[in-house]
């Protein structure tokens, strides 16, 4: 559907809704019914923006329409709820300016109304926004604010999720010890809730954290815990691939090359691995190539490197591609081919 036709189709759609509403009534609508029409429309526009078949511009059109209508009815009781939905909508389409504007409004309003749950969610969204934009200190502060509110409300699941988010940031800034502490706290809360899904995610994060502290044996224990909870919950094959790759990395970093190769081969040989998660599949190819070189296979360039370059480039995983090219340069350096290493 062409974008320039959207306003006209939306107008026709709105007219249809209104005609349908009035035709079922013998008497004219009351003032209260008329006043509710814009609010209902806000819900319609926000819901339409969630259609995954729409372009970003089309989603933004519906969100902007909802925002305009909402601002025209600031006294409405649904304002906090709809501002929260708008805030998340703008976050999802990466409209930083509108997200910040709406999120600021939401925070001020929920503070004024003492709406603790929506205030915590607003801080959570703000943390995601800052983390996505690599403003890690502000992201961490936002997560702490949200976490503290959820603790006061005894919302253990959300509080634990935010502890994990905080730990991820601490890992990114190399504060591994504090990251480990927060993950242990999160795991304790998830165990109280018997939440297998979040337990396998948290144990995996804990394994990554202690690997960064070079405690590889401990990391493998946590990865195995993650695998046990993964097997006990709904199957998530994409996560399984990443978890097995992490186990291979722990063995590789610990110098256990044969075991590392076994885990990397598991990922590559897993049925439909490429279609499930092409990024992990490509990175795993690189890791297997590195393992082969470390095992002394420098006589012939590992075929995994070329395959990894093709997969990662096709899927625009430039961070993974950079690692592969660096590994390839190291291989050429080892073989004495300095020209290709520079290339």
Is the pLDDT at 192 greater than 50? The verdict is yes
**What would you measure as the largest C-alpha separation in the chain, in angstroms?**
90
Contact residues for 300 (Cβ-Cβ < 8 A; gap 6+): none
pLDDT band, residue 37 (cuts 50/70/90):
very low
- d(C-alpha 331, C-alpha 130), whole Å: 38
Encoding tokens for residue 155?
């919302």
Instruction: Give me the mean pLDDT over the 171-198 stretch.
Output: 96
Is the pLDDT at 33 greater than 80? The verdict is no
pLDDT per position as a tens digit, 123-134: 999 999 999 999
For residue 260, count CB atoms less than 10 angstroms from its CB and return exposed for 0-12, middle for 13-18, buried for 19 or more. buried
For residue 343, count CB atoms less than 10 angstroms from its CB and return exposed for 0-12, middle for 13-18, buried for 19 or more. exposed
Give the predicted TM-score (pTM) of the model.
0.81
What integer best gives the mean pLDDT of the chain?
A: 87
230 touches 239 (CB < 8 A): yes
Q: Tokens 């749950």 sit at which residue?
A: 117
70 touches 82 (CB < 8 A): yes
Is the sign of the CA dihedral 287, 288, 292, 295 positive or negative? positive
Is the pLDDT at 22 greater than 60? The verdict is no
Q: Tokens 């690189």 sit at which residue?
A: 286
108 touches 102 (CB < 8 A): no
Q: Where are the alpha helices (DSSP H) in 72-195?
A: 79-92, 96-112, 116-132, 136-152, 156-172, 176-192
pLDDT per position as a tens digit, 101-158: 999 999 999 999 999 999 999 999 999 999 999 999 999 999 999 999 999 999 999 9
pLDDT band, residue 70 (cuts 50/70/90):
confident
């Amino acid at each position: 559907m062409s974008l320039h036709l959207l306003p006209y189709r939306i107008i026709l759609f709105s007219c249809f809704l209104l005609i349908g509403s009035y035709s079922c009534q013998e008497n004219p609508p009351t003032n209260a019914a008329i006043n509710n029409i814009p609010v209902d429309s806000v819900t319609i526009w926000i819901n339409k923006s969630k259609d995954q078949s729409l372009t970003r511009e089309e989603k933004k059109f519906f969100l902007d329409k909802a925002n305009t209508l909402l601002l025209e009815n600031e006294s409405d009781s649904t304002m906090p709820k709809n501002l929260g939905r708008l805030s998340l909508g703008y976050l999802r389409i990466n409209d930083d300016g509108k997200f910040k504007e709406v999120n600021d409004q939401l925070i001020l309003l929920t503070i004024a109304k003492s709406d603790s749950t929506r205030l915590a969610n607003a801080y959570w969204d703000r943390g995601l926004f800052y983390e996505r934009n690599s403003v890690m200190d502000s992201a961490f502060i936002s997560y702490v604010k949200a976490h503290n509110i959820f603790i006061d409300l005894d919302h253990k699941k959300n509080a634990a999720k935010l502890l994990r988010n905080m730990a991820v940031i601490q890992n990114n800034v190399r504060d591994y010890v504090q990251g480990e502490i927060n993950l242990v706290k999160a795991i304790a809360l998830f165990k109280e809730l018997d939440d297998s899904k979040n337990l396998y995610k948290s144990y995996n994060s804990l394994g990554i954290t202690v690997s960064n502290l070079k405690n590889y044996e401990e990391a493998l224990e946590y990865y195995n815990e993650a695998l046990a909870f993964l097997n006990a919950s709904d199957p998530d094959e994409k996560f399984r691939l990443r978890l097995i790759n992490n186990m291979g990395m722990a063995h590789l970093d610990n110098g256990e090359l044969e075991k590392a190769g076994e885990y990397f081969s598991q990922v590559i040989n897993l049925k439909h691995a490429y279609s499930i998660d092409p990024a992990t599949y490509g990175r795993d190819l690189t890791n297997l190539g590195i393992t082969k070189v470390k095992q002394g296979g420098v006589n012939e360039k590992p075929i995994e490197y070329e395959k990894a370059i093709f997969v990662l480039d096709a899927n625009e995983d430039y961070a993974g591609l950079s690692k592969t090219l660096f590994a390839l340069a190291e291989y050429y350096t080892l073989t004495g081919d300095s020209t290709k290493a520079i290339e």
